[in-house]
Amino acid sequence: MGASESTDSLRADQEARELRELNGEHYQDAEYPWFFIVQWACEKLPADAVFTWNLSDIKAEVAELTADPITFLACCPADEAFRESGEFSFTENGVFVEWAMLLVELLPSLADVRYRLVPAKVAEEEFWCRFFSAVRLRIQQH
């Protein structure tokens, strides 16, 4: 029992060290979930498109979407095409739920806007559909 716990502890220490090194080296996928959101946003771009991006700028633009409820509603309109495409699914085991949970922790303004809008003015799923649709559009325009 002791040897197994020791091995597990060493593995966990090694994984933590590797993650710190990744973050220290500024690898693009070290800032979860941002790299994956950018990847998802660019899936529909033409195959011959060259896409460059600046994570700091993208984070700032996403934060602007959630400055306050009025800004959110203006910048994140309902997107029926996105909803009906089948690309967005807000199920418990879906990636959008995972990203939403992380982004609420990373962006205090997002948590505040969500608290003020859901469910009084917008349903939970509609809120996130609007948000991710607007995020994708901002990233693609970047």
pLDDT band at residue 46, thresholds of 50, 70 and 90?
Answer: confident
- 129 and 82 Cβ atoms separated by less than 8 Å: yes
Cα–Cα distance for residue pair 94/48, rounded to 1 Å: 29
Residue 92 is predicted with a pLDDT of: 77
CA dihedral 133, 135, 136, 142 (to 10 degrees): 150
pLDDT at 65 over 70: yes
CA dihedral 29, 81, 126, 36 (to 10 degrees): 0
Give me the half-sphere count of Cα atoms (radius 13 Å) on the Cβ side of residue 114.
19
Domains and CATH numbers, the chain: 31-141 (1.10.3970)
Q: How would you class 135 by CB atoms within 10 Å of its CB: exposed for 0-12, middle for 13-18, buried for 19 or more?
A: buried
- 136 and 51 Cβ atoms separated by less than 8 Å: no
Residue 19 is predicted with a pLDDT of: 58
Give me the half-sphere count of Cα atoms (radius 13 Å) on the Cβ side of residue 78.
8
120 vs 47, more confident: 120
User: pTM for this one?
Assistant: 0.77
Give me the half-sphere count of Cα atoms (radius 13 Å) on the Cβ side of residue 37.
26
Q: What is the pLDDT of residues 80-105, one digit of tens each?
A: 999 999 889 998 778 999 999 999 99
pLDDT at 122 over 70: yes
pLDDT at 14 over 80: no
The pLDDT mean for the chain works out to 86
Cα–Cα distance for residue pair 136/88, rounded to 1 Å: 12
